[in-house]
Amino acid sequence: MFHSRIRNKLVAAAAALIVFSPLTADAAGLTARSDVMGTSEAGISTTHIISMTTATAASIGSIGFLMCTTSSGACTVPSGLVTISATLSAQSGTGGTGFTLNATTNGAPYITRTAAAIAASVPLSYTLSNVTNPTATDTTFYIRITTYTGSDGATGATDTGQIAASTATPIQLTGVTPPILVFCVGTSIPTDCTSATGNTIDFGDFSPASTNIGTSVMQAQTNAANGYTITVNGTTLSSGTNTITAMSGAASTTGSSQFGLNLRVNTAPAVGADVTGPGSGVPVFNYASANNYRFNTGDVVASAALPTNANTFTTSYIVNIGGAQAAGVYTATMTYICTASF
């Protein structure tokens, strides 16, 4: 009686090992084995695209995917691994389709069908969805794959192979985009505001017989929800109490007292350039007409209505004088103010 009980226990133990260690001595080795995980983050539901190539031509009724903490021996299911909610969401391979998933036993899902032939050297792929990864991070676990002639995931092993997979700690990346307004003014901006140089325009000697010209450039970009406006601020050219008349919007006329500007490429005289860059900034209407010049301190000369990448604006200045213009050194300071609306 005592010996009988021992013998029964040994038989039960042997049966358990057959369920969880399905390898057989004469089973051939599956090749090209891989498991593409949807995520390696621990404890997260994911997909496993399990691929392999058959070694033996056989009539296959089931394929088991035993998930263990070790690659061989008695199988311990990794802590936190959940396969009972798994689904078979894709399957491919010549002769290797028509399966349904049996996920009744946690950690030991298998796919099953009425046995049908699969040739040797056939690539197969099966996607198991809704599998919860083990909860231990940075930890290797194994998928023991076995093909069976029987449909029960246990009978008639033909090919076997193991895949190592691992959970991993996700790297959290953080950063802050602050409110942005990048604005610069100069006589030259070859690339961006870090390259802006110059702050002086020398018109040379004025003459009633010709128009004096000059240019400056400015660049603006912002992530403000309502974009930006750029205003020009200053006074017209003056020497003591003598001034050159600020234009209210007119063409350049030699022999007349005129100081004005715009943000366009012009032909009369030939000066300036149109706005460049990938942004959405534009000159405003009073300063957006070619060959039409104006200056009024506080005017908006350019704007963007939305967040925008950089635009470079070229400001064209023209100066005309009459023959009676008083002699002297005429100067003015133009200050451009860019206001972003967040």
Please indicate, yes or no, if residue 15 is contained in any of the structural domains.
no
End position of a domain, from candidates 166, 197, 230: 166
Q: How far apart are CA 221 and CA 11, in angstroms?
A: 78
Residues 119 and 185 in one domain: no
Residues 38 and 71 in one domain: yes
pTM exceeds cut of 0.75: no
| H or E segment to which residue 304 belongs | strand 300-304
124 and 146 Cβ atoms separated by less than 8 Å: no
> Which regions in the chain score pLDDT beneath 70?
1-27
Please indicate, yes or no, if residue 174 is contained in any of the structural domains.
no
Please indicate, yes or no, if residue 8 is contained in any of the structural domains.
no
Residues 110 and 204 in one domain: no
CA distances from 31 to 34, 110, 112, 275 (A): 9, 19, 21, 62
Residues 162 and 214 in one domain: no
Strands 28-29 and 157-166: parallel
Q: How far apart are CA 36 and CA 143, in angstroms?
A: 12
Residues 86 and 128 in one domain: yes
Q: How far apart are CA 82 and CA 6, in angstroms?
A: 34
Q: What total of structural domains would you count in the chain? A: 2
End position of a domain, from candidates 119, 141, 166: 166
What 3-state class would DSSP assign to 196?
coil
Domain span at 329: 181-340
Residues 107 and 205 in one domain: no
Q: What is the CATH number of the domain that holds 309?
A: 2.60.40
Q: How far apart are CA 219 and CA 197, in angstroms?
A: 12
Return all residues near 201 (Cβ < 8 A) that are at least 6 apart: 187, 214, 215, 216, 317
End position of a domain, from candidates 138, 166, 194: 166
Q: How far apart are CA 267 and CA 146, in angstroms?
A: 81
Closest by CA to 86, choosing from 129, 56, 37, 42, is 129
Q: Give me the pLDDT at residue 9, please.
A: 35
Q: How far apart are CA 337 and CA 196, in angstroms?
A: 16
**Amino acid type, 145:** I
Residues 335 and 187 in one domain: yes
Please indicate, yes or no, if residue 138 is contained in any of the structural domains.
yes
Please indicate, yes or no, if residue 64 is contained in any of the structural domains.
yes
157 and 148 Cβ atoms separated by less than 8 Å: yes
Residues 112 and 196 in one domain: no
Please indicate, yes or no, if residue 232 is contained in any of the structural domains.
yes
Tokens describing residue 22: 């399905």
Q: Give me the pLDDT at residue 26, please.
A: 52
Residues 66 and 120 in one domain: yes
Residues 161 and 185 in one domain: no
What is the number of alpha carbons within 13 Å of residue 219 lying toward its C-beta? 21
Please indicate, yes or no, if residue 212 is contained in any of the structural domains.
yes
Long-range CB contact pairs, 245-251, < 8 A, 24+: 246/295, 246/296, 247/293, 247/294, 247/295, 248/294, 248/296, 249/286, 249/292, 249/293, 249/294, 250/292, 250/293, 250/294, 251/291, 251/292, 251/293
Residues 200 and 160 in one domain: no
Residues 298 and 325 in one domain: yes
- For the chain, how are helix, strand and coil distributed in percent, rounded to 5? 5, 45, 50
Q: What is the CATH number of the domain that holds 50?
A: 2.60.40.3490
Please indicate, yes or no, if residue 91 is contained in any of the structural domains.
yes
CA distances from 92 to 50, 72, 103 (A): 11, 27, 19
